[in-house]
Amino acid sequence: MVKKIAIAIAAVLGVAVVVILGLASTKPDVMVIERSTVIKASPEKLFAKVNNLHSWIEWSPYEALDPKVKRTFSGPEAGKGAVYAWDGNNDVGAGTMEITEITEPSNIKIDLRFLKPFKGDNKVNFSFVPVSEPAANATEANATEANATAANATKVSWTMSGESPFMCKVMQVFCNVDDMCGKDFEKGLAKLKTLAEG
């Protein structure tokens, strides 16, 4: 009887593994996560907050996860070649960020390398696009006037992309990576907005 139960359990587990691996194989080979927000500040002001890696302490959503995280900066303080390395608890892990390309004040490209709790290489991109926001009391009657006197604002987009090895695909069967990381991006952009508009 015990032997039959053990065989049945093994069979169920075997089917479950096959189903999980099958679902994992349907996940995309490349992961792309993107979030955007509009901030009432100039592209120049926002570009400076992201281009200087020392400033990330003020707005990055990951800084609060480990107040004792060890930070190391190297290279120039800002711009191409600036490097920020961290080593913290299980929530933040360890890794490095390096600014690889800038187009002032519209774009910043970063190489993001995770060392733990898992290894991974990702490309991060921040774009800053000027937009116009109508005045809060604008109506259809004064829309033209409102647009003429629109406040300066910037659409900030934070994008991360990278290859998804098979183990990452297996993880995606159980959790929505876009939702998890996307929420962090949203928190960071909200902090950046408060910082820039305050």
pLDDT over 50 (residue 147): no
The tokens describing 123, both together, are: 């490309």
- Quick check: is 8 in a domain? no
Domain residues for the domain of 61 are 30-197
Cα separations (Å) of 87 from 5, 39, 59, 62? 47, 31, 18, 12
- Quick check: is 16 in a domain? no
Only one residue has tokens 């991360």, namely: 160
**Quick one: 41 exposed, middle or buried, by C-beta within 10 A (0-12, 13-18, 19+)?**
buried
- Quick check: is 1 in a domain? no
Q: What is the mean pLDDT of residues 47-74?
A: 94
- Quick check: is 21 in a domain? no
**Mean pLDDT taken over the chain:** 81
Q: List the one residue out of 119, 80, 125 whose CA is nearest residue 96.
A: 119
pLDDT tier at 126 (50, 70, 90 boundaries)? very high
Residue 118 confidence (pLDDT): 79
- Quick check: is 138 in a domain? yes
- Quick check: is 24 in a domain? no
Using DSSP, state whether 55 is helix, strand or coil.
helix
What's the CATH code of the domain at 155? 3.30.530.20
Q: pLDDT tens digit string along 5-33?
A: 766 666 655 655 554 445 445 555 568 89
**H runs (alpha helix) in 106-159:** 143-148
Q: How many domains is the chain built from? A: 1
- Quick check: is 61 in a domain? yes
pLDDT over 60 (residue 61): yes
Residue 3 confidence (pLDDT): 66
- Quick check: is 103 in a domain? yes
The tokens describing 69, both together, are: 């995280």
